[in-house]
Structure 1
Amino acid sequence: MNSSIAALPVTTLASANEALTQRLPSALELKHQLPLSPFLTEQVNAHRQAIRAILNGEDSRLLIIVGPCSIHDPESAMEYARNLKKLANDVSDQMLLVIRAYVEKPRTTIGWKGLAYDPHLDGSDDMAAGLTLSRELMREMLRLGLPVATELLQPMAAGYFDDVLSWVAIGARTTESQIHREMASGLGMPVGFKNGTDGGVAIACDAMRSAAHPHRHFGVDSQGHPAIIQTPGNADTHLVLRGGHRGPNYDRQSVAQVKTDLAKSKVTTRIMIDCSHANSGKDPMRQPAVFNDVLEQRLQGDTSLIGMMLESHLFDGCQPLSPSMRYGVSVTDGCLGWDGTEQLLREAAARLRAQKTLGHA
């Protein structure tokens, strides 16, 4: 992989108190530099349709969004992707596995913001290289045959990746944002809105209703020019439960209340459970317990639970950024290692097969 598109020269504004600016390549320029072949474009469309079929109840498989909390090392990310592709083939009768390729990370105050922002992990914030590397990495994952997912945090960055993505998350802190709701209304793939950090779902319900409608809003076109963007509305949204300040919300009682709240808001009842974050108490090793609880609810007939999300990397845990980091270990939230992830998903697929076998007996 290379990072051959360079940013244009820095322009210093008149006042010392004002920000510096540095031009980036437009989304169109980067797409021309790293294009998708017609085959890969068709593959993305097929992946999006497969996810829509799960959301609409036309496909009984579980949708599983799984992969590193964030990508910081392309080599370990691709090793993970190759492992996931083999597993995806083996469980494809029961699950659709979609790889997390998260290259932007929200920060409460300050910190490393992700591969798209700081690909060299040194605070240099070479965003031109970061955008190039991120798109190149996603394209390599596509070439393996995997559907790709990410969280879109900065709307201006969305145009660099929108053609390679099959699923998008809008995070707990941005679900309330009008700008992100407008953006989601124009995306060509399914979008999962996370509940707010308080654990309530009212904000996410409003977001899904807003995103379903057409919008006209300020934006940037593919050539980087300010533009009026007119969106068609996005009917392929769903709720992602990630817990909140008051604790988890994946249990049966919480899910039942959420279903009631969605019905009152006239929002389609389709729910994904994020097994990490507040649902696991930020303990990555608790993710399997959350996953299995949700799986049991699904096995008992709750088809509103359309899937789960797992934070998973090659090895357990997390580590701070440093000059000597362990290979395949997250530098943001702690992750479940590959061995535990593979065992969890294979056992879940076996349970789903067994239930279908009994159902046909």
Structure 2
Amino acid sequence: MNKKSFFSKFASSAFMIIGLIFLIVYLLIPENAHPIFDILRNLSNALGSILIIGGIFEIVFKEKFIKEVTSSFVKTIFLKPASLENFKDEELEQINKSIQSRLLYGNRNNYYSNRILTMINDSFYEMAKGTHHNKDFNTFFQYYNSVLYVNERKENYVNIEYEIKYEIINNTKNKEEVEIDIFSKRFFPLSLSLADSCVTQELTYLNIKSDGKSMDYSKEIRDGKFKEQTLDKDDLDNIRIQEDVKRQIQEDKDGTFSPFKVKFKEKLIVEKKIKIVTLYDDISFSHIFKRPTLNYSIQYHDENVSVNTKDYLTLRFFSGLNKKSSDKIHPVLKGKVISLHVSDGLLLPGEGISIVALRDR
């Protein structure tokens, strides 16, 4: 018996003993005595009855009563969504953490479990609420579709037709307006960058629908408002090899080129087509998710591979949670085309795919 249980039993016994003393006093005082004694007699009767009943309740029914009342109260509060409206967000978050802690490892103090809970609450939970410190994570791709067609080689180069269509949903708390880059920074072999006449990326089509408002940029493309720019070496980060340079399609604003950004509050739909020129020996392509993605598909067609070569076209999907072995996510190879389709899943930032094409020499 622990100290708490001992003192509880002791208090219950004391209540009953004192109650019996009051009842004895009640019985000892005769009826119709002096008014003062009548008051004392009635008071002794009342107090004695209350203390005895309280002692019996404490010993026999208290624990069961508390369990039943607590269970009923908690179920009423937390199993009915309307009841949760009475709590502040901060209170609900603290309750949530307590419940998570209890479900995950009970009363054990486990550092590993603590780290998982910290990651859930500081990253995934904040991402779901739209309050993550990385603003990209507070938006997500409803879908992201891409098609790449690699034409037959021309000398040491290949031309790639790259089509992309995606829809981004704003998940920020209170639907705050967000701004995103439309064109990503891409790496190209250095030998291409030395040729001033060689444009490695050329925008051929761009249509954007921001919160239902459609914007076609055909005229701006014809007028040369979008051009490829080689970024300064000081801005180069995440370089794969020393011989690569980073380039980006940028917008011309009064003679000054800068990243093209778009703002929206609810959702953004982007369709774009880009022509890419790269070295024939540049046989790899990769895509890393910068924000959560629910539906993803990619189709890669390369005219320069031979279907008679072993592993001539391979696609690797790298993910911490979504595994190829699940038989739900796997590439499909048909002739010179390899594709991957992920439907109604959740691809996390940092996950992605890589494609390698073994081209004829």
TM-score by length of 1: 0.21
TM-score (ref. length: structure 2)? 0.21
Structure number, greater radius of gyration: 2
